[in-house]
Structure 1
Amino acid sequence: MSTPRQDPLRDPRFFADPYPTYERLREGCPVQRVPTGSGGRHAYLITGHAEAREAFTDPRLSKDTARFFAGRPSNRDLHPAICRNMLASDPPAHTRHRRVATRLFTTGRVRELRPYITRVVDDLMSAWRPGTEVDLVADLAVPLPVTVVCELLGVPESDRATLAGWSHDLFDATDDSRIDAASHRIGDHLTHLVDTARATPGEGPLHALVRDCEAGGLDPDETVSLAALLLVAGHETTTHLIGNSVLALLRHPETFQRLRRDPHLIPGALDELLRYDSPVSVATFRHSTQALRVGGVDIPAGFPVLIAPGAANRDPAAYPDPHRLDLDRDAGGHLSFGHGIHRCPGAPLARTEAEIALRALVTRFPDVRPALPAHAPTWRRTRLTRGLTALPLVL
């Protein structure tokens, strides 16, 4: 195993199409030591499916970010609500957070939300006219999950577009100061909303979240932290799921035509769409608390470990001919929502939003086509998620 000389996940070619990079790294070794950023820092990158699945459940890989960075020099200034959330903690703190979060996304709760989600899609598409051009990202993929998660949390309508913009900045891979500033804007704003809900009796969604957090043993700061995580994670990846899915279908017209003929296939197609172009390219931060061995590679204690679902989902050892979109494939083992105790609790909601959006698109506008060549779309410059900046369509 040879260590790359430069960070392979910051190359402009990676942001445009990460899969050749992932394939090259995985062929060398499914677990590799790679440089990260500047200053001679390194991490271990996991690109194999079996190895990623194993790592997701290994208790020696901690998500306690504060523990890793304690005593290490840093020029970062993230808001505590952003850097000390459920995704940056281990049990028992993680268990308390997750117990509250999971109640929001039960099968029954998501089923209750279906009519509301359908109305939101109907409202967003009401201005769409055949023969005109729309941007699928700006006109559907962004506002749909933002509206739904803000409704779920009780965020006022007047705040939603602003919070979505700050969330977008939070995933900027090129500007640490922009990320830090966005974290404070989100954290401060949600602190105000949570404090107001706590001080004012009411029966709104945010009041219910505050009560659930108190009953679950979360303190006021942890309540803000959970609200921030649900807001950001609750819409960012769903936006990318919708955009990536539509682009994949446009690039596979026979598959798209199949869904047009039979929209009832859409729920079953989501696993393959999630596998084919995962909205989560690299999972959130982990570090080794003890020496361990993954995929035949020794990982010393004290190193960051990056698990790449985007790479694992294209591992030919798990999925033959992995670069082909195949709706008949059994893709249920994909890792786009993670695996183990940190698996995304909002997965049922994300799937439901994507299903309703895709069904509306193929039934209302069966002849939709890209307004630009299929290779033209531009992608967000972030290694954590994979999503389009825009997707112009002709209806």
Structure 2
Amino acid sequence: MELDGRDDRKTSFNNGAYDQPAFERISSKEIRIRGVDLARQILRGNGLRQAGFMADLANRFTRSSRAPVLFQEGEAHRKQRSATARFFAPKVVAVRYRQLMAEQSARIMRDFRSIGRADLDSMGMELSVAVTAEIVGLNDSGLPGLANRLNSFLADQQQPRVGKLAASLRMVVALCRMLRFFFCDVMPAIRSHRIEGREDIISHLIDQGYTREILTECITYGVAGVAATRELIVLAAWHLFDRPELRKRFLDSDEVGRIVVLEEILRLEPVVGTLYRRAERDIVLNDNGRPEDVSAGTLLAIDVRAVNADSAAAGVCPHRLDPDRQIQDHRLPRSLMSFGDGTHRCPGAAIALQETAIFLNQLFRVPGIRLARAPTISSNSIVESYELRGAVVTCFRASRVQTRVRARRSIVYDQ
């Protein structure tokens, strides 16, 4: 419950009532979770498997091969996460990818200043594709085309699924997109990496003996890396444009301080709205001292927005944007469950945060930067959260800035 009635959320189209139970049986086979302690039990527990991000469909297509790491469980998942940790650890990100993030951001800002107007989510998409392509190893094809192909996997998710014919057509379209991505991006990368190995995901998969599974892994890493970072960039920029004091704090801080601001924004409005797990056997959850039986086959839906607003973790006024917020449980990050928890916690968390911090630090130092049009909000059925599109930013064009600098210099010389 809000003590001061303040709610700083911008993407509030799917908010429910504040006082909802932490554990709610929707039906005999579905349970809704809104408490942070229950969420931790589920995400860190045994006897449950990934059930979100179209897991059932993915498992159907990978029965005769190795499933993508997102859908693996147990020892297979632990081994794969351990083997790929060298690509995502915070220290590795700072050393290996930071310069790329800074250079790509600077290039995007130069283009922006030369025109004086840009679409913010397109700028975020351009940056996230460049960084993701480097990490995964998809830089053997043109990046503009790669951006379109990755973005196509998230397209048309808001359209209703009506009738068998419509479902069949969707399946055909999805298959065509997958084949286009394979022939244009994945296959050239595999060929190149077989000739000369690199320090990226594709080379690692080749060394592990992966073949056709490389395609699904590239889709998993590529789409997740691009989509989440793009939304975070637009969301955080929107908050900073609307809050001058928050923007000043962001720009006056070092990178650690900037990431603190971003984590609080992400806690308030997580990019992924719901995490799903399915019980593989009967389990018992502890709801504040009260045992709750969960039968095998039950779907557990973790409402990340509600969990992140649980006062047991977020403290008082959980719907207020407060970078100085003290998280009650020291085991939890400032963003709480926004990147998940346990063995399936998003491996790219450090990348997304640093990428966004670098990009926004450069964006808000552009002379005359202004949000000319706020983004429109729509929903994304895959992650059950928001999509922010159509945000337009403007600035002084580079030629105008240079003219003003020359004018100032001439005034100084005349004096």
Per the normalisation by structure 1, the TM-score is 0.78
Alignment of 1:311-330 (within 5 A): 311-319=306-314, 320-330=316-326
Quick check: which one's strand share is greater? Answer: 2
Alignment of 1:261-340 (within 5 A): 261-262=252-253, 264=255, 265-283=257-275, 285-294=276-285, 295=287, 296=290, 297-319=292-314, 320-331=316-327, 332-333=333-334, 334-340=336-342
Deviations 1:24-71 (A, max 9, x none): 4xx231122337xxxxx95222122222122111112212789x95xx
1:134 aligns with 2:118: yes
Which of 46, 52, 57 lines up with 2:39 in the alignment? 52
Between 340-349 and 266-275, report the one with greater CA deviation.
Answer: 266-275
Q: Matched residues, percent identical?
A: 22
Alignment of 1:356-375 (within 5 A): 356-365=358-367, 368-372=369-373
Deviation of 1:18 (Å): 4.9
Judge conservation of contact 1:44–1:306 (CA < 8 Å) in 2.
yes
Alignment of 1:82-161 (within 5 A): 84-110=67-93, 111-129=95-113, 132-138=116-122, 140-152=123-135, 153-155=137-139, 156-157=141-142, 159-161=145-147
Structure 2 letter corresponding to 1:349: I
Distance in 2 (alpha carbons) for counterparts of 1:181 and 1:102: 35
Distance in 1 (alpha carbons) for counterparts of 2:302 and 2:170: 22
Deviation of 1:238 (Å): 0.9
Distance in 1 (alpha carbons) for counterparts of 2:271 and 2:76: 27
Evaluate the alpha carbon distance shift between residue 20 and residue 171 of structure 1 in structure 2; reply closer, same or farther with a 3 A threshold. same
Distance in 2 (alpha carbons) for counterparts of 1:214 and 1:204: 9
RMSD, aligned CA: 3.5
Structure 2 letter corresponding to 1:304: L
Alignment of 1:5-16 (within 5 A): none
Deviations 1:93-144 (A, max 9, x none): 3234323432322334312211111111111111224994432112x22111
Evaluate the alpha carbon distance shift between residue 56 and residue 108 of structure 1 in structure 2; reply closer, same or farther with a 3 A threshold. same
Structure 1 letter corresponding to 2:259: P
Name 1:221's counterpart in structure 2. 212
Query: Tell me, what secondary structure is at the counterpart of 2:271?
Result: coil
Distance in 1 (alpha carbons) for counterparts of 2:201 and 2:15: 43
Judge conservation of contact 2:29–2:297 (CA < 8 Å) in 1.
no
1:353 aligns with 2:336: no
Query: Tell me, what secondary structure is at the counterpart of 1:113?
Result: helix
Q: List alignment gaps of at least 5 residues for structure 1.
A: 1-14, 36-40
Between 95-104 and 224-233, report the one with greater CA deviation.
Answer: 95-104
Structure 2 letter corresponding to 1:213: L
1:202 aligns with 2:188: no
Deviation of 1:277 (Å): 1.2
Distance in 2 (alpha carbons) for counterparts of 1:43 and 1:128: 48
Evaluate the alpha carbon distance shift between residue 34 and residue 392 of structure 1 in structure 2; reply closer, same or farther with a 3 A threshold. farther
Structure 2 letter corresponding to 1:106: A
Distance in 2 (alpha carbons) for counterparts of 1:194 and 1:342: 25
Distance in 2 (alpha carbons) for counterparts of 1:262 and 1:65: 36
Alignment of 1:172-251 (within 5 A): 172=158, 174-175=160-161, 177=167, 180-181=171-172, 183-189=174-180, 191-192=182-183, 193-199=185-191, 201-203=194-196, 205=198, 209-216=201-208, 218-251=209-242
Per the normalisation by structure 2, the TM-score is 0.75
Q: List alignment gaps of at least 5 residues for structure 2.
A: 1-9, 328-332, 396-415
Distance in 1 (alpha carbons) for counterparts of 2:127 and 2:70: 24
Judge conservation of contact 1:369–1:393 (CA < 8 Å) in 2.
yes
Aligned length: 361
